[in-house]
Amino acid sequence: MSTVSEQTAVESTESKVEHPIAPYLRMDRMPHIWCPTCGIGTVVKCYATALGEAGVDLDKVAIVSGIGCTGRVAGYMNLDAFHTTHGRAIPFATGLKLGRPELLVTVFSGDGDLVGIGGNHFIHTARRNMDLLVILVNNFIYGMTGGQNAPTTPLTAKTSTMPYGNFENPFNLPHLAASCGASYVARWTCLHTRRLTKSFKEALGRKGFRFIEVIAPCSTLYARLNRLGTGFELMRFYHDNAEIRHDADLNDVAIDFQGKIVCGKFVDEERPTFIDLMHAHYERTLGDKYRPMPPEGGWIHE
Amino acid sequence: MKTDPAGVLTGAHYLDGDFACGEGAMAAGCRFVAGYPITPSTEVVERISRRFPMMGGTFIQMEDELASMAAVVGASWTGTKCLTVTSGPGFSLMMENIGLAAMMETPCVVVDVQRGGPSTGLPTMVGQADMMQARWGSHGDYELIALCPQSPQEAFDLMIDAFNLSEIYRIPVMFMMDECVGHMTEKVVIPEADQIEIVPRKLTSQTPEEFLPYRVNGGYVPEFARAGDGYRFHTTGLTHNEHGYPVMSAECQEQNVRRLIYKIRDNADQIVRFEDDGVDGADIVLVTYGITARVAQMAMEMAREQGVKVGMMRLIIAWPFPEKRIKELAGKIKAFVVPEVNYGQMVLEVQRCAEGLAPAVLVSHGGGGVHEPETIVEAIMGAAK
Ligand code: SF4
């Protein structure tokens, strides 16, 4: 992210050429708050690029974040953007989608937010196959509050609240999402910018609960507490340890401390969404009496 | 404007308070409800979920009350009128996102059919012990409006007002029913749709280029833009400036939160609503609300037969509280008597506003039933001495 904003600053003063993703960002809010070599900015860059490549109507795209470092993403995107409460981005987004079904709603938040405090919402919304693109940036730690243990912290990794190493089992998120009923499940690291962008673009064109986990470095806390080196070394780690296996058995994609990171598109199935099922069911049971909410929403006006 | 006839079940019906409340919401134009089952409020969403598919409404049963309230706040940003319904334990969970609704200035209505507490308490039996929670339950400073119906008819009528007030002030409105009102069945007359005035979500007339989501130009309530209309606005639960951008400073806090408070305080004279019965010339004034107002009515008549000059002030809107009226009466009467199905909540407000000019006597009932009128009469007689 810092590279993006620096480039923009340089280009706008010297050559007046706008950075390609500047139109997708709130440039009036730059510089952002993320640390140098944090991975979140890269994920934002890929998402913005995918929005452009997918050719979606940006006026109809809404983005919802919860709380945390990744929770700040909504605040930097030049879309209808909601920075909500901790853990509640998914149910908030569910309301937005159902209140105006034509919206394309993205949830963009962190691991602590979406599967720690928000875990119950995550599993139920996947179960409903609610029409949401859920981007989860997994940095294995609570970043904003100072490096506490997360439900994704690998066993033995050190965190500020597990200073002798984590002894709790972490979630295997692709497995969790798939077993709950998500229609699209992928995992990438933020080294895989091309594949990640492609995955975002593809998922923007799909329906249902689309879950993309992005492994990203928290250089300030996770990497420092565990002595994993600088941003460059973290990227090299991804390069050496990420393994692309689209057909992986999801039982086997849990992440061990400094172990292999199995990436890929694990699930891509067209399955009826909550809204599809609701329409079909009421059409069947109520016939002509059924009056669905119009795509533009239930707003009553003169 | 007149409401959408699709939601109006015109006619005379025999309904319980929960059903009447649901009918009121649909008549007010509510088209999105997220809820989680909890006694004694569930009948409200059962009613709505049966009728919604025929009027373009969507009901979703969420995984918990945290999610219900979050979904309601989200849906309201599409301009769709939104409701959630609960009772004490769920009301506690909703407090987090009631605060978000207050901070983001999101119109919505929250029904709490009160039961005995604390904790799981008395799930199927009456209480009125969430009145302070309705006002103060979420952290930080904010103001909101709370209504207290005393009958199924009022559950219908006041629901329309609740939605309208939420639109006018862009706030979450608390609809403080109680188990007795929720479960009592009485005649409810629902008028024709063209007799029901609703306040629609007023959208900004500014262009996306000029629009700022929290600019008020010296007023109290900012203009609204719906998600999906091209405004590309940002909103947050963080302290924010008129752009809706977070600003972590005492100055921004003052500008942001002062307005949340004073949009209600400065308009309290228009919002406050109560009903007087024989208050002029009374020595004793009962201050009541909800089901207890109906019990107190009988007590008042009994005390009057014994020669006491007693009147009653029934709170229709409990928050904002009728401070001025209480103070004015305090200078003229001997005492206030405040029966409540709790161990003393609104009585504290009466005491505060009376400023020592007249005592306010609590007649408490812990919940699980209503007062015996005699208990209230006794308190009246004691206060009249
Ligand atoms: S604390 Fe970690 S996750 Fe948060 S911005 Fe810094 S590097 Fe990124």
Final residue before a domain boundary, out of B177, B195, B213: B195
Instruction: Say whether B281 sits in a helix, a strand or coil.
Output: coil
Question: How many whole angstroms separate alpha carbon A242 and alpha carbon A263?
Answer: 7
Whether the per-residue pLDDT at A14 is higher than 70: the answer is: no
Check CB contact under 8 Å for A298 and B32: yes
Q: Is the pLDDT of residue A4 over 90?
A: no
Report the CATH number that the domain containing residue B137 is assigned in CATH. Answer: 3.40.50.970
User: In this model, does residue B337 exceed pLDDT 70?
Assistant: yes
CB atoms within 10 A of CB A290: 16
Interface contact A92, partner B, CB < 8 A: yes
CB contact under 8 A, B72 and A294: no
Strand stretches in chain B, DSSP E: 11-16, 30-35, 58-61, 81-86, 108-116, 122-126, 145-147, 172-178, 185-190, 234-236, 274-277, 284-288, 310-315, 317-319, 335-340, 360-364
Tell me the mean pLDDT in the region B229-236.
98
Same domain, B173 and B82: yes
List, as one string, the DSSP characters of B179-225. Answer: HHHHH-EEEEEE--GGG-B--PPPBP-S-TTT--TT--TTSSS--B-
Q: Is the pLDDT of residue A172 over 60?
A: yes
Residue A135's nearest CA partner among A83, A46, A211, A237 is A211
Say if residue B62 is in the same domain as residue B186.
yes
Structural domains in chain B (count): 2
b/e string for B114-149 if b means 16 or more Cβ within 10 A? bbbbeeebbeebbbbbbbbbbbebbeeebbbbbbbb
Q: d(Cα B175, Cα B196) in Å, to the nearest integer?
A: 19
Residue A17: what pLDDT? 87
Given this model, what pLDDT does residue A15 score? 61
Of B132, B166, B195, the last residue of a domain is: B195
Preceding peptide of B152 cis, ω within 30°:
no
Specify if B272 maps to a domain. Answer: no
* Chain A residues closer than 8 Å to B201 by CB: 299-301
Q: Which atom of ligand 1 is nearest to the CA of A39?
A: 8
Instruction: Assign B19 to helix, strand or coil.
Output: helix
Question: Residue A102: its chain B contacts at CB < 8 A?
Answer: 228
Helices A89-99 and A119-127 cross at an angle (nearest 10°) of: 40
- The string of DSSP letters for B96-160 reads HHHHHHHHHT--EEEEEEEEE-STT-EEEEE--TTHHHHHH-SSS----EEE---SHHHHHHHHH
Dihedral angle sign, alpha carbons of residues B101, B105, B109, B112:
positive
Query: Which atom in ligand 1 lies closest to the alpha carbon of residue A34?
Result: 5
Using alpha carbons, select from A286, A285, A287, A229 the residue that is nearest to residue A258: A229
Q: How many CB atoms lie within 10 A of CB A153?
A: 31
Q: How many domains does chain A have?
A: 1
- Are B190 and B284 within one domain? no
Any domain includes A56:
yes
| pLDDT at residue A202 tops 50 | yes
Q: B269 lies in a domain? A: no
Domain assignment of residue B211, yes or no: no
Phi then psi for residue A110, to 5 deg, are: -100, 180
Domain extent for A60: 20-289
Distance between CA atoms of residues B114 and B181, nearest Å: 10
Q: Are residues B304 and B178 in the same domain?
A: no
Q: Is A257 on the interface with B (CB under 8 A)?
A: no
Yes or no: say if B341 and B178 are a contact pair by the CB < 8 Å rule.
Answer: yes
Q: What mean pLDDT comes out for the span A168-174?
A: 98
| Model confidence pLDDT, tens digit, residues B64-105 | 999 999 999 999 999 999 999 999 999 999 999 999 999 999
Average pLDDT, chain A: 94
pTM over 0.90: yes
**Domain boundary residue among B173, B195, B217?**
B195
In the beta sheet, which residues pair with residue B122?
A: B116
Q: Does the pLDDT at position B270 exceed 50?
A: yes
Q: How far is CA B239 from the centre of its chain?
A: 25
Cα nearest neighbour of B226 on chain A: A80
Q: If you average pLDDT over every residue of chain B, what do you get?
A: 98
Sheet holding B284-288, edge to edge: B274-277, B310-315, B284-288, B335-340, B360-364
Q: Identify whether B222 is part of a domain.
A: no
DSSP code string of A162-206: -TT---SPPP-HHHHHHHHT-SEEEEEETT-HHHHHHHHHHHHTS
Residue A103 has pLDDT above 80, yes or no: yes
Band the pLDDT of A302: cuts 50, 70, 90. Answer: confident
User: Does residue B275 have a pLDDT over 70?
Assistant: yes
Q: Within chain A, how many helices (H) and strands (E) appear?
A: 11, 8
Give the pLDDT confidence score for residue A13 in this predicted structure: 53
Specify if A222 maps to a domain.
yes
Beta bridge partners of B235: A82
Whether B165 maps to a domain, the answer reads yes
Q: Determine, for residues A60 and B228 on separate chains, whether the beta-carbon distance falls below 8 Å.
A: yes
Residue A272 is assigned to a structural domain of this protein: yes
Asked if residues A216 and A190 have their Cβ atoms less than 8 Å apart, the reply is yes
Q: Which residues pair with A222 in a beta bridge?
A: none
Domain membership of residue A140 (yes or no) is: yes
| Residue B18 sits in the same domain as residue B136 | yes
Whether residues B190 and B286 share a domain: the answer is no
CATH of residue B348's domain is: 3.40.50.920
Neighbours of B348 (CB within 10 A): 14
Same domain, B148 and B286: no
CB contact under 8 A, B60 and A94: yes
Residue A6 binned pLDDT confidence (cut-offs 50, 70, 90): very low
pLDDT tens-digit readout, B217-231: 989 999 999 999 999
Say if residues A102 and A296 touch (Cβ distance below 8 Å). yes
Q: What SS3 state is found at A228?
A: coil
Residue B206, domain member (yes or no): no
Single-letter amino acid code for the residue at B110: V
What is the nearest CA distance from A10 to chain B, expressed in angstroms?
Answer: 25
Has residue B102 been placed in a domain?
A: yes
Q: For A242-277, what is each residue's pLDDT tens digit?
A: 999 999 999 999 999 999 999 999 999 999 999 999
Assign residue A181 the CATH number of its domain: 3.40.50.970
Q: Measured between beta carbons, which residues in chain B are less than 8 angstroms from residue A100?
A: 78-80, 226-228
> For a pLDDT cut of 70, what percent of chain A falls above it?
95
CA of B304, closest CA in chain A: separation in Å?
Answer: 49
Q: Please report the pLDDT score of residue A3 as a whole number.
A: 43
Beta carbons of B335 and B383 less than 8 angstroms apart:
yes
Cβ neighbors of A33 (< 8 A, separation 6 or more) are: A69, A72
Task: Tell me, yes or no, whether A297 lies in a domain.
Answer: no
In a domain, A89, yes or no: yes
Tens of pLDDT, residue by residue over B164-203, are 999 999 999 999 999 999 999 999 999 999 999 999 998 9
Helices (H), chain A: 2-14, 40-54, 73-76, 89-99, 111, 119-127, 173-180, 193-204, 222-225, 231-241, 274-286
Boundaries of domain holding B16: 5-195
Q: What is the dihedral of CA B155, B157, B163, B165, to 10 degrees?
A: -110
**pLDDT, tens digit, 9 for 90 and up, residues B132-149:** 999 999 999 999 999 999
Cβ of A96 and B75 within 8 Å? yes
Name the residue with tokens 């608390």. B174
Domain assignment of residue B248, yes or no: no
Residues A60-83 have pLDDT tens digits of: 999 999 999 999 999 999 999 999
